[in-house]
Amino acid sequence: MSSERDKPKPTANHRLKRIRQEGMSSLHSSHALTRSNVTLDCGWGRLIFGNTFENPEDLVEAMRNEHPTQRDIAFYVRDPHIVLAHAPQEYFLDPSHTYRLDFTVYRPARRRRTTFHIRRLSTRSDAEAINIIHAERGMVPVPPDFFWSHRDAGMVTMLVAEDAKTGDILGSVMGVDHKKAFDDPEQGSSLWCLAVSPSAPHAGVGESLLRRLAEQFQARGAAYMDLSVLHDNEQAIALYEKLGFRRVNVFAVKRKNQINEKLFVGDQAETGLNPYAQIIVNEALRRGIHVDIDDAKNGFFRLSFGGRLIRCRESLTDLTSAVALSICDDKRMTRKVVELAGVRVPDQITDTSPEAISAFLQEHGSVVVKPARGEQGKGIAVGVSDLETLHIAIERARQVSEDVLLEEYYPGHDLRLVVINGEVVAAALRLPAKVIGDGAATIRQLIETQSRRRSSATSGESTIPLDEETERCIAQAGYAMDDCLASGVELAVRKTANLHTGGTIVDVTAQVHRRLIEAAIRAASAIDIPVTGIDLMVKDPTEPDYVFIEANERPGLANHEPQPTAERFIDLLFPRSMTMPERQLQQKAYRND
């Protein structure tokens, strides 16, 4: 006989009821639904509503119709263990959590952003921009025609974040209305493919996209919005919980394919390699090439295949001769070699006597100071136009290299062309770090926020230094570090466009002028180097005008995705590792060229 003490308290009953409801929510029995075996094409793959399938066998068969280039997701799977038991060699339980936003407790943001706005996808250029962001984030691309055909569909909602000043697309999100998809009696909805460009200059883009989608579904009468997030994505989970999302016991099942490989093979041994080495190692492993890591911290590893062994330090290999390496190491020698090959170079002096630098500055009005030897933009000052600052910049460059160069300043954009085996594989504009004011934060705070975002997007490789050069650039624009930048005001905080100093990269491979490509190939050939990054200063990548800046013997291949830099790199090292279709495509490309 139970006592009063043993009886469940009302609060405990309420808590148990809520847990049961959340745990079973969206896992309806098929008898509660008017439609069965529902799948929805989302462009990147199909969203398969597992709760509409009565038999696990039917769900397994539906997932077998996955397109080879897409990724299907079976969501709201009632009995994932039973589904997996039917085909454990084909499917796996997605290691993601499901989070739910209950619209009865959701509250909109108090302040609306003014530096960008959220709108529906409306043009083909929107769709192309979304795919670029997907590629940057390692997500599955979507055929642009899919976006266009679904732009007015109530079932699938596509939103984009657009920069109020430039019109650039900064991010996107997809939403699905469950009522329209399968007559959901719970009036649910879900969020998919939230993606923000790693070079987006504004804070809060992802949160604003999420909120706008939630508010649209809330206005339609939806009861909640679900989303799926990888269990270890702590930054995203923190945002969702801040907005009121709560975790629910909902499961997803996916097919074992190449796209999902990282999710079902488990954590691989931590290599410790940086992204520039890791992208090469990943491509090598994909082709069955053996990898030995010698010094992860410094990017040294060995690749072996078919009796051939090549040592690498990121994209620098045994194939690059010591002579070519020494030419690239000394910017004075690089300039001489490429100039003899007919490549245009800027005026330059190595004499840093007071008389010489004064005369050079007077002749050109604005100059570039750089150490004769160095990398990653260290010690470089661009656009120096007064003698006092010039002396300071020279002393700062001497901290990197005893020998210092002065070059005429050629205003324009920094264009990096990656040349592998005599072919330009990728071309990208490298843009200096900048911040955009919000009317509240200081320039220092804006830099710190942007620097954290750049670091997160590049695995710590890109940050904006809070150093003397940054202060000089800010002062040159008439500001100080602790000034508050007005809303919408754009400020370049560095003049150099190196990734390591917070620069961003815009792919222009398809648009770059043929003469620029020829100049890069000519420079690489003159140095006699198989893999290099040729830097040109250009007014416009679609125009032929340029001057040569420098050649990098160890270009960062990871900076140019989705261009196939790692693939062409491994082709050069191990041509026999290419599959027959890859060889046929390459031969066709050479014939067309």
pTM: 0.56
Q: How far apart are CA 378 and CA 380, in angstroms?
A: 6
When pLDDT is averaged across residues 408-417 and rounded to a whole number, the result is 90
pLDDT category of residue 498 using cuts at 50, 70 and 90: low
Q: What is the pLDDT of residue 428?
A: 92
Q: What is the pLDDT of residue 365?
A: 84
pLDDT category of residue 106 using cuts at 50, 70 and 90: very high
322, 534, 552 from 327: Cα distances, Å = 9, 13, 10
The reply to whether omega before 562 is within 30° of 0 (cis) is yes
Both tokens assigned to 269: 């041994």
Range list of β-strands (E), 501-545:
504-507, 531-538
For residue 17, pLDDT beyond 50: no
Both tokens assigned to 546: 């340029």
| CB-based contact 305:288 (threshold 8 Å) | yes
When pLDDT is averaged across residues 63-92 and rounded to a whole number, the result is 91
Q: Say which residue, 180 or 4, is predicted with more confidence.
A: 180
When pLDDT is averaged across residues 151-162 and rounded to a whole number, the result is 84
pLDDT category of residue 260 using cuts at 50, 70 and 90: confident
When pLDDT is averaged across residues 41-65 and rounded to a whole number, the result is 94
When pLDDT is averaged across residues 49-68 and rounded to a whole number, the result is 93
Tens digit of pLDDT for each residue in 453-496?
A: 767 766 666 788 888 878 888 888 788 888 888 888 888 777 66
What average pLDDT does the structure give for the chain? 85
Q: How far apart are CA 411 and CA 538, in angstroms?
A: 8
| CB-based contact 450:201 (threshold 8 Å) | yes
**∠ CA 51-56-62 to the nearest 5 degrees?**
80
Tens digit of pLDDT for each residue in 176-232?
A: 999 999 999 999 999 999 999 988 889 899 999 999 999 999 999 999 999 999 998
Q: What is the pLDDT of residue 376?
A: 65
When pLDDT is averaged across residues 414-420 and rounded to a whole number, the result is 95
DSSP string across 548-572: EEEEESS--GGGGTTS-HHHHHHHH
Tell me the backbone φ, ψ of residue 18, rounded to 5 degrees. -65, -40
Q: What three-state secondary structure class fits 194? A: strand
pLDDT category of residue 348 using cuts at 50, 70 and 90: confident
pLDDT category of residue 12 using cuts at 50, 70 and 90: very low
Tens digit of pLDDT for each residue in 504-560?
A: 788 999 999 999 999 999 999 999 999 999 999 999 999 999 999 999 999 999 888
Q: What is the pLDDT of residue 266?
A: 52
Q: How far apart are CA 13 and CA 123, in angstroms?
A: 52
Range list of β-strands (E), 422-529:
423-431, 434-436, 490-492, 504-507
Q: What is the pLDDT of residue 158?
A: 94
When pLDDT is averaged across residues 63-75 and rounded to a whole number, the result is 92
For residue 586, pLDDT beyond 60: no
- CA–centroid distance for 334 within its chain: 31
When pLDDT is averaged across residues 563-584 and rounded to a whole number, the result is 79
Sheet holding 91-93, edge to edge: 39-41, 46-49, 73-75, 252-255, 91-93
Tens digit of pLDDT for each residue in 436-445?
A: 888 888 888 8
How many other CB atoms are there within 10 angstroms of residue 81's CB atom? 10
pLDDT category of residue 74 using cuts at 50, 70 and 90: very high
When pLDDT is averaged across residues 341-367 and rounded to a whole number, the result is 87
pLDDT category of residue 581 using cuts at 50, 70 and 90: very low
Tens digit of pLDDT for each residue in 357-411?
A: 888 888 888 888 888 887 766 788 887 888 888 888 888 888 888 888 898 888 8
Both tokens assigned to 542: 């679609």
pLDDT category of residue 499 using cuts at 50, 70 and 90: low
**∠ CA 34-38-41 to the nearest 5 degrees?**
140
For residue 432, pLDDT beyond 80: no
**What is the share, in percent, of the chain residues with pLDDT greater than 90?**
49
pLDDT category of residue 588 using cuts at 50, 70 and 90: low
For residue 19, pLDDT beyond 50: no
Q: What is the pLDDT of residue 63?
A: 94
